[in-house]
Amino acid sequence: MNHLLRPLPALLVLAAPLAAQEAGKLTLEAIFHPTKKIAFLTPPSARWTWMPDSTLLETRTEKGLTHLNRLDAAGKATPVYTAEVLPEALRKAGMTEAQAKQAAGRGPLGWNPALDAFLVKGGEDLFLVRTAGPAATRLTTDGAAREVPTFSPDGKHLAFLKGNDLHVLDLATGAEKALTTGGSETRFNGRLDWVYDEEVYGRGSTRAFWWAPDSRSLAFLSFDLSKVPVHTLVDDRSHPQKTVPIRYPKAGEPNATVTLGRVDLNGALTWMTDPHPGTETLIVQVGFDPQGRLLAAWQDRIQTWFELRRFEGVEGKVLVKERSKAWQERLPLPRYLKDGSFLWQSDRSGFRHLYHLDAEGRELRALTSGDWDVRDLLAVDEKAGKAFFSATERSPIGLDAYAVDLKGKRANAGLKRLTAESGTHMVQFSPDGKRFLARWTNSTTPTQTRLQDAAGALLRTLDAPATEALSKLKLGKVSFQTIQARDGHPLQTRLIFPPDFDPAKRYPVFQEIYGGPGTPTVRDAFGRDLPWHHFLAQQGFVVWVCDNRSASNRGTASGHHAYRRLGQTELEDQLDGLAWLKAQGWADMNRVAIDGWSYGGFMSAYALTHSKAWKAGIVGAPVTDYRLYDSIYTERFMGLPKDNPEGYAATRIMDKAKDVEGALLLFHGTLDDNVHPQNTIQLVDALQKAGKDFELVLLPGAGHGPRTPEQVWFRYWKTWQFLKKNL
């Protein structure tokens, strides 16, 4: 499910003076208006990527041109090429002047492994730019779309999707070859279908092929979608209408049948044997070990187990199998060591931790343990005997980088935190493991990019946005709390108080919610929602966010409380949060509004129909019946509808329409391919039949959220009018 509008770390600075505003005050226009807004969210001054030799590649855009520099360990910058001459090189290779100017401003589409050449597009055709010179070569001339172009590890070939088949291009000769055939509307070779893209491999990836380490072959997934139901969206913005069909399996409906293949550069194809014939499964990871042996992971349809297999030939051998009493998360592929053993991430303790397994998958030792989660394995330095990872060890609402001993006799041997300030540190290590980039932010600090050594010492700050204008705003205090649910389970919460907060007064409360399993909203980060929340605080609202336990960063097992009964236990935690608010004395519990989008929309609608605690609710793109949502996400948490009819029935908001308490404002995009508009249409039908009042805002042509600046503005303007009217 799309985690739309969650507060993500971002640069948030005032990039223009507040002359048009009352001193220190935010306005809705300054935050959201298409033509009057101030640039609160500004991009970093540059982007940095590690080169294979552990120098940094800096990408900086100025005056419509992208400049590339190489930074050595001392920070000295050497131009990779002169950006001003790139358009001329592209024109010489066959681009039009307009295409060349656009490509030079857009920058690289993708880099080769050596980072000495990159791809750009002119129209739909691909061009290869070698940084020496620079010199450009036109790779394709037919104007046909070639999607997700991916260099081979040796940099000699380019694989891509052309239509729904996998192709490869020899960069030396320009020869192009189809590696698969038969791609069609119902057969995807190397392309993810909608639900795998959204719920397994990550939105926008589409790519379902992987190069072998020796660059001689590729693994790929082939999808047979012939039995997947078609859901049709309708675009009514033109005449005649345009229909948008999507093969989208809802809970309990047929998924695509997926097979795993391997194809060499001559087109010789081998299919791997299905390890679970006659059983519905998902293929959720594909890759290779250092020896070039194919790795793949399967899960059962409802995702209660995860099985990693290694292939020698077409038969796969089980290396690791993880099971859960509820749902089993998709796990990363192993990180191999030189002796053939590997590091493995597992939730087997109820928390995500690192383990050292031998070459056949037998556990040698736990590297980490405790009531906290490892987020990512960042790097391994075998010579130094260290593994580096990010984790929530210090705080469930933050993220830090750590080192731990590879050969420790006990878990957490040599454990050391490498990041100093509290907050959220997003870290990328250099290939040699000697330095790392850290993007650091907290609730009062816009994101900074720093360079640190492997021991955590700060080498230099690469990017730190100015905060002078920000400091002139009259902002309320941001405060984090850990409170207790009725059974004693800790819940993470965040408050933003009005700047002139007086605890003797009583304040209306604006509550934002997401609430979905494993998706915390309470984060110690300078999020993109903060201007809106601080605006509300300046208007006299207390802004409240409470993560129910299933949404928290307190171990995967915390989420199991909600298994097979989404909405029910989350609401209990949210009501316990409101009970804590009431006990503080300054919250006017007769004036509390709840606002959520996507899963948060479901939670807002569920709250208004299953309690009387909220006076008003803003419900965006809600799932109103989990039988209407996609198979992979829904069945992970709810099982199959035929096996859990009571649980599914309890999520159906329409059956409780008569019990709506408080004012209701609904939003939905008319082309939402994620949570289909039928969810809101069915709720509207039920509300009308129940004689309930509500407001409905359709976003024409929008997907799973506002699409245009005008729609974003209208969404927040309408929400503000709704709050003023009803609270």
- Strand 386-391 and strand 294-300: the pairing is unpaired
Residue with tokens 């490869």: 168
CB of 272 within 8 A of CB of 220? Answer: no
DSSP state of 244: E
* Integer-rounded Cα radius of gyration of the chain: 26
Distance CA 375, CA 356 (A): 16
Asked if the bond preceding 240 is cis, omega within 30° of 0, the reply is: yes
Q: What is the dihedral of CA 632, 637, 640, 642, to 10 degrees?
A: -150
Residues in the chain: 727
By C-alpha distance, which of 238, 314, 224 is closest to 271? 314
Q: Which helix (H) or strand (E) holds 89?
A: helix 86-92
By C-alpha distance, which of 631, 652, 635 is closest to 644? 635
Amino acid at 415: L
The three-class DSSP label of residue 654 is helix
Residues in a beta bridge with 322: 306
For the annotated catalytic residues, the residue numbers are 598, 672, 704
The three-class DSSP label of residue 635 is helix
CB of 128 within 8 A of CB of 117? Answer: yes
The three-class DSSP label of residue 335 is strand
Please report the DSSP string for 245-287 in residue order.
EEE-PBTTSPPPEEEEEEEETT--EEEPPPSSTTS-EEEEEEE
Q: Which helix (H) or strand (E) holds 678?
A: helix 678-689
In degrees rounded to 5, what are phi and psi of residue 341? -75, 175
Distance CA 144, CA 24 (A): 53
Beta-carbon contacts of residue 487 (< 8 Å; ≥ 6 apart): none
CB of 130 within 8 A of CB of 119? Answer: no
CB of 614 within 8 A of CB of 594? Answer: yes
Please report the DSSP string for 20-43 in residue order.
TS-TT---HHHHH-TTT----B--
- Residue 517, CA atoms < 13 Å, CB-side half-sphere: 25
- Sign of the Cα pseudo-torsion (15, 19, 20, 21, in order): positive
Tokens of 573: 């935690």
CB of 166 within 8 A of CB of 180? Answer: yes
CB of 509 within 8 A of CB of 497? Answer: no
CB of 616 within 8 A of CB of 663? Answer: yes
Distance CA 141, CA 136 (A): 14
Tokens of 211: 């190069």
Dump strand ranges (E) for 548-612. 587-597
DSSP state of 541: P
Residue with tokens 């041109």: 65
Distance CA 41, CA 620 (A): 23
| CA triple 602-604-609, angle to 5 deg | 95
Distance CA 444, CA 450 (A): 17
CB of 122 within 8 A of CB of 100? Answer: yes
Beta-carbon contacts of residue 43 (< 8 Å; ≥ 6 apart): 11
